[in-house]
Every structure is written in structure tokens, then in C-alpha cells.
A and B are shown apart, each in its own frame.
Chain A
């Protein structure tokens, strides 16, 4: 079982719709959760971080975390063509003096006109 799992997509949504991106993780001690956006040929860009159960909103983006279900999601409201990219879920687990950020393989989002 992969440590961080995402559907590779592509997820296709029409402009103006809500895009819902999902991620599950296997390590129950995970404490920090991040969403990165990566345009083709570019490096990952941090867009959201969430550390406690519930929702966190930032502009058109909402991150949702459910530690009991080991599930984190990203909602993008009013999707724009410029949102078309790969979205990487990343999870950090801490054990003693070690910490490691583990990435999923990403979900490719296509926003259509």
C-alpha cells in the first residue's frame, strides 16, 4: 500500500464548477498535510497547509482533513482554466527526531471552457 494515495486523473471540470481532489494516507501518526500545485514543466508550489481536523479556507481553495478516516481533500471553487495543473498531496509524519514529507503521485486537473 502506498503511503499517500491520489487518483491520477485526469479530473475534468467545466469552468466555474467546483473541483474536488482527494487524498488518503496510511500513517496514522501523520500530523501535517499540504497541497501543492504543479504546472507542467514547473516545480511544486505550496497552496494550502492544514494541521487539524476540519476545514481551512483560503480564497477559492478549501482544504478538509479527517484524521479518523485518514483522508484529506482540496476543493477549488469557481474553477478557472488557470487552475489546470497537477495537484500533489503531501503528508508529514514525525517520529522522535525524524520527519519526512511524503508525496502522492498527484491528480491532474483539467478545467474546460
Chain B
């Protein structure tokens, strides 16, 4: 079974430039998550999708971050414009469903973003 796929793996951009990350979840997983992980910290949730619906985006900085999951499968996370403080690893995860007690989440390899 293929795992969560993310691209690109690394991205270096100048501040104020836009950037986008792509994620394809494990086949059959209806719930998709975007996390941000800073060095020495645990992942922090940005947004959770149940199929194509964003059901928890309370931690997403909506002035510069946006996300979509149009067909309920793959997803894109965008930052525009990027700031120096956005440098981090952006992780995508998926689970079969989001509300069941047994919603084990599986992570993709992540995208390491460096903003100069």
C-alpha cells in the first residue's frame, strides 16, 4: 500500500514570494490533515479535511495561508506571501476517518520550506 505522497520535498524561496505544497493521501483515507512542525516541536495542526470539507481550520492563518481539496482526494496548501517565520516542515497526514476513536494518522515525508 502506497503511503502519503508529498511534493516538493524541499523548497527555498525569497520572502514575499508565493509557495504551494501538494499532498496525495493513502488510498481510501477520507480525512486529510496539514501540519506545521518547527524544529524541536511536535506537529501542530493547520487544517483538517473530511472528504472535500474543511472541518477544522481554526489554526490556519487565513490572511496568508489557503488550502483546498477539491475532489476529496489530493490537497494543496498555499502561502502567499511567505514570511521568514514560515520556515518549517509542512507535513500532510491522512486517516480513514477523523472522528472515530481509532483515527490513526499516517504522515507523508513532509516539505521543508526555507524562506530567505
Chain A residues with CB under 8 Å of chain B are: 4, 8, 31-32, 34, 36, 42-46, 49, 51, 88, 90, 92, 94, 97-106
Contacts and interface: CB of A to CB of B under 8 A. Distances in A.
B99 A94 contact: yes
A100 B95 CA distance: 13
Contacts of B41: 105
Interface residues of B, number: 23
Contact of B102 (A32, A97, A105): A32
Given A32-B103, A92-B103, A44 B43 contact: yes
Given A42-B109, A43-B91, A100-B56, A34 B104 contact: yes
B64 to A, nearest CB: 22
Interface string B83-113: 0000001010000001101111111111000
Contact of A45 (B33, B42, B45, B107): B107
